[in-house]
DNA sequence: AAGTAACCGTTACCTTAAGTAACACTTATT
DNA sequence: AATAAGTGTTACTTAAGGTAACGGTTACTT
């Protein structure tokens, strides 16, 4: 009986699993190259050409344009998180760590300005909001920061209601300052990191002071705070 | 001689000046309605239909889609600046004024969420960056804040090099927190304003403290600072 | 060895939405 | 009366995303 089709684990079906992934990655790379060449408004034809295939091949691997762009975005996410993760987990004086995190972010966008602009500015009109990589990333980072801040505040018996808005505020702050800097690089990356770290530190310090907690910015934090597992990037469950 | 054509001030040419403006405004309104109805991906046909005309009429008043959207954006700019201007110029304790400015912004996006999302998210892929209303607005507000902050810092003989990045940081901060809040309104506008004002105040206060300047957040500023003409929104020269 | 499930790849087409051409009518100024 | 502005229409062109239909290759299954 030809019952092989239904449900059976035909090896022919599995055979390609890895390959498909590799191919997608290959097309994502091609897209990035195409964007570098033709600017952010590349067409699918040009991307296909750059990849050395014709359009339908592309469409076998990506449902549509946004799907491809989404993959490009995720690729950017990976690059970002690979840098941000370690920067967040690093120990040392709190002031330096803030600067380290900010600087890690700025380094990523400095090294990939085209990709960055493409992913951020190109954010797809047609996809539902939850499928927007930039929104996703910001939400992920903000959630991590919110948890961090919240724990921090609660450890000092302070109201932690502000943790979430503050986290989003911090994310927006760094992003927007980064955008501005990327467009007209009128100061060194180090200076900007320093300036941003300064203002962030003052904000945090101010919150603590208002509860009469005094922290030395140049000393590592006591009691394992800021180095707990919660500080790692919270895993978002994705399909 | 039929020399009336060239350069002469034929009244027939002037006759419509006002009318054209009115018509553009009318179409901008129609676009906003159409967006409310059909979501941010409206087509020109639908917009034309909503305006009660057919497409070519639209194209007599707007060079292309982005031109129309740009006009919609500027309309948003006006609404925003109308609120932000007075909020910035208001006097009173500095802490309250910060909250007032933030709250003015939040009120605008709260009252026009659809328009806001359309203008911000829809930001045109095809126009050059300088024609992006959102970027323009943010730059304008940031420039105003930068000048404000710079004057402030210089008045206390402090390094004012951070004024510009800080200004952009503040703008991004409020915008991003606002976006987050708009999507899931998990707290009252007042609470958010308060939280944001708190962190901003702490940031500023921290900067001043680091130069041994102590300011009472609940007292009006001395010496006319923060109420000078520079505080008004800087005029951007537009074509 | 034959069949087949997955892929590779192409050309030529469909569809949608932005934008335009060509045409006819209105109104107040010259 | 001529004309410069504007009003408006239908029917078209164009560009870009996306698809249909075709044929070939590889290696697992029977």
Query: B24: which residues sit within 8 A by CB, 6+ positions away?
Result: B61, B62, B71
Lowest mean pLDDT among A25-29, A43-47, A50-54, B127-131: B127-131
CA A43 to CA A49: how far, in whole Å? 10
Residue after which a domain boundary falls, among B62, B86, B102: B62
Instruction: Please count the structural domains in chain A.
Output: 2
Q: How far is the CA of A77 from the C1' of D25 (A)?
A: 36
Q: Evaluate whether residue A2 is within a structural domain.
A: no
With bands split at pLDDT 50, 70 and 90, how would you rate the model's confidence at B15?
low
Based on the domain organization, do B108 and B156 belong to the same domain?
A: yes
Q: Residue A198: which of B142, B162, B187 has the nearest Cβ? A: B162
Among B207, B65, B184, B211, residue whose Cα is nearest residue A142: B184
Query: A197: which residues sit within 8 A by CB, 6+ positions away?
Result: A95, A98, A99, A102
Q: How far is the CA of B61 from the C1' of C19 (A)?
A: 13
Q: The domain spanning residue A41 has which CATH number?
A: 1.10.10
Q: Is the pLDDT of residue B129 over 90?
A: no
Residue B50: count of CB within 10 angstroms of its CB: 20
pLDDT in tens, A26-47: 999 999 999 988 888 888 999 9
Q: Evaluate whether residue A4 is within a structural domain.
A: no
Q: Evaluate whether residue B199 is within a structural domain.
A: yes
Q: Evaluate whether residue A1 is within a structural domain.
A: no
User: What's the confidence (pLDDT) of residue B109?
Assistant: 96
Q: Is the pLDDT of residue B165 over 90?
A: yes
Q: Is the pLDDT of residue B1 over 60?
A: no
With bands split at pLDDT 50, 70 and 90, how would you rate the model's confidence at B168?
very high
Q: Is the pLDDT of residue B6 over 70?
A: no
Q: Is the pLDDT of residue A230 over 60?
A: no
Based on the domain organization, do B161 and B79 belong to the same domain?
A: yes
- Mean pLDDT of the A2-10 span: 44
Q: The domain spanning residue B217 has which CATH number?
A: 1.10.357
Based on the domain organization, do B153 and B207 belong to the same domain?
A: yes
Q: Evaluate whether residue A152 is within a structural domain.
A: yes
Q: Is the CB of B49 under 7 A from strand C?
A: no
Phi and psi at A93, nearest 5°, equal -60, 140
pLDDT in tens, A167-223: 999 999 999 999 999 998 999 999 999 999 999 999 999 999 988 888 888 877 644
CA A151 to CA A225: how far, in whole Å? 8
Based on the domain organization, do A57 and A79 belong to the same domain?
A: no
Please name the nucleotide lying closest to A12, CA to C1'.
D28
User: What's the confidence (pLDDT) of residue A211?
Assistant: 87
User: What's the confidence (pLDDT) of residue B126?
Assistant: 61
Lowest mean pLDDT among A33-42, A210-219, B7-16, B170-179: B7-16
User: What's the confidence (pLDDT) of residue A234?
Assistant: 59
With bands split at pLDDT 50, 70 and 90, how would you rate the model's confidence at B59?
very high
User: What's the confidence (pLDDT) of residue A162?
Assistant: 93
Among B85, B112, B88, residue whose Cα is nearest residue B178: B112
Please name the nucleotide lying closest to B26, CA to C1'.
D7
Q: Which nucleotides of C are covered by protein (CB under 7 A)?
A: 4-12, 17-22, 28-30
Q: Is the pLDDT of residue B118 over 50?
A: yes
Among A95, A88, A84, A89, residue whose Cα is nearest residue A201: A95
Based on the domain organization, do B144 and B227 belong to the same domain?
A: yes
Based on the domain organization, do A175 and A194 belong to the same domain?
A: yes
Mapped to the 3 state alphabet, what secondary structure does chain A carry?
CCCCCCCCCCHHHHCCHHHHHHHHHHHHHHHHHHHHHHCCCCCHHHHHHHHCCCHHHHHHHCCCHHHHHHHHHHHHHHHHHHHHHHHHHCCCEHHHHHHHHHHHHHHHHHHCHHHHHHHHHCCCCCCCHHHCHHHHHHHHHHHHHHHHHHHHHHHCCCCCCCHHHHHHHHHHHHHHHHHHHHHCCCCCHHHHHHHHHHHHHHHHHHHHHCCCCCCCCCCECCCCCCCCHHHCCCCCCCC
| β-bridge partners, A208 | none
Instruction: Please give the residue range of the domain that contains residue B122.
Output: 70-234
Q: Please check whether residue B173 is in contact with residue A181, taking contact to mean a CB–CB distance below 8 angstroms.
A: no
Based on the domain organization, do B142 and B76 belong to the same domain?
A: yes
- Mean pLDDT of the B123-129 span: 59
CA dihedral (A133, A136, A142, A147) positive or negative: negative
User: What's the confidence (pLDDT) of residue B191?
Assistant: 97
CA B88 to CA B170: how far, in whole Å? 14
User: What's the confidence (pLDDT) of residue B9?
Assistant: 52
Higher pLDDT, B153 or B196: B196
Based on the domain organization, do B123 and B148 belong to the same domain?
A: yes
Q: How far is the CA of A46 from the C1' of D18 (A)?
A: 15
Q: Is the pLDDT of residue B147 over 70?
A: yes
**CA of A124 vs chain B CAs: smallest distance (Å):** 9
- Mean pLDDT of the B41-60 span: 90
User: What's the confidence (pLDDT) of residue A127?
Assistant: 62
User: What's the confidence (pLDDT) of residue A237?
Assistant: 44
Q: Is the pLDDT of residue B133 over 50?
A: yes
CA neighbours closer than 13 Å in the CB half-sphere of residue B124: 19
**CA of B56 vs chain A CAs: smallest distance (Å):** 25
Based on the domain organization, do B130 and B194 belong to the same domain?
A: yes
Q: Please check whether residue A144 is in contact with residue A234, taking contact to mean a CB–CB distance below 8 angstroms.
A: yes
- Mean pLDDT of the A87-91 span: 85
pLDDT in tens, B192-232: 999 999 999 999 999 999 888 888 888 776 444 454 444 44
CA neighbours closer than 13 Å in the CB half-sphere of residue B128: 2
User: What's the confidence (pLDDT) of residue B120?
Assistant: 87
User: What's the confidence (pLDDT) of residue A125?
Assistant: 56
Q: Is the pLDDT of residue B4 over 50?
A: no
Q: Residue A169: which of B41, B125, B173 has the nearest Cβ? A: B173
Residues 57-116 of B with CB under 7 A from strand D: 57, 60-61
Based on the domain organization, do A31 and A113 belong to the same domain?
A: no
pLDDT in tens, A97-125: 999 999 999 999 999 998 898 888 775 55
Based on the domain organization, do A30 and A92 belong to the same domain?
A: no
pLDDT in tens, A120-143: 877 555 666 666 888 889 999 999
Phi and psi at A186, nearest 5°, equal -90, 5
Residue after which a domain boundary falls, among B24, B40, B62: B62
Based on the domain organization, do B29 and B137 belong to the same domain?
A: no
Matching residue, tokens 């990045």: B165
User: What's the confidence (pLDDT) of residue B13?
Assistant: 61
Q: Is B227 exposed, middle or buried (0-12, 13-18, 19+ CB in 10 A)?
A: middle
User: What's the confidence (pLDDT) of residue B237?
Assistant: 44
Mapped to the 3 state alphabet, what secondary structure does chain B carry?
CCCCCCCCCCHHHHCCHHHHHHHHHHHHHHHHHHHHHHCCCCCHHHHHHHHCCCHHHHHHHCCCHHHHHHHHHHHHHHHHHHHHHHHHHCCCCHHHHHHHHHHHHHHHHHHCHHHHHHHHHCCCCCCCHHHCHHHHHHHHHHHHHHHHHHHHHHHCCCCCCCHHHHHHHHHHHHHHHHHHHHHCCCCCHHHHHHHHHHHHHHHHHHHHHCCCCCCCCCCCCCCCCCCCHHHCCCCCCCC
User: What's the confidence (pLDDT) of residue B102?
Assistant: 97
Q: Evaluate whether residue A43 is within a structural domain.
A: yes
The interface predicted TM-score of the complex, written ipTM, equals 0.84
């Amino acid at each position: 009986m030809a019952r092989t089709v239904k449900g059976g684990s035909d090896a022919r079906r599995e055979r390609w699993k890895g390959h498909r992934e590799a191919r997608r990655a290959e097309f994502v790379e091609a897209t990035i190259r195409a964007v570098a060449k033709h600017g952010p408004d590349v067409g699918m034809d040009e991307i296909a050409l750059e990849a050395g295939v014709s359009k339908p091949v592309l469409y076998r691997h990506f449902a549509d344009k946004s799907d491809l762009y989404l993959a490009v975005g995720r690729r950017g996410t990976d690059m970002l998180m690979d840098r941000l993760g370690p920067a967040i987990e690093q120990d040392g004086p709190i002031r330096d760590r803030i600067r380290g995190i900010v600087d890690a972010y700025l380094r990523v966008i400095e090294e990939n300005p085209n990709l960055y602009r493409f992913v951020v500015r190109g954010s797809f009109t047609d996809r539902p909001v939850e499928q927007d990589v930039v929104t996703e990333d910001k939400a992920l980072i903000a959630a991590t920061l919110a948890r961090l801040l919240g724990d921090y505040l609660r450890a000092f018996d302070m109201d932690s209601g502000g943790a979430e808005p503050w986290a989003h505020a911090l994310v927006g702050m760094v992003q927007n300052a980064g955008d501005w800097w990327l467009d007209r690089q009128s100061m060194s990356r180090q200076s900007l990191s320093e300036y941003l770290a300064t203002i962030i530190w003052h904000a945090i310090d101010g919150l603590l002071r208002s509860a009469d907690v005094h922290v030395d910015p140049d000393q590592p934090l006591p009691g394992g705070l800021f180095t707990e597992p919660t500080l790692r990037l919270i895993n978002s469950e994705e399909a």
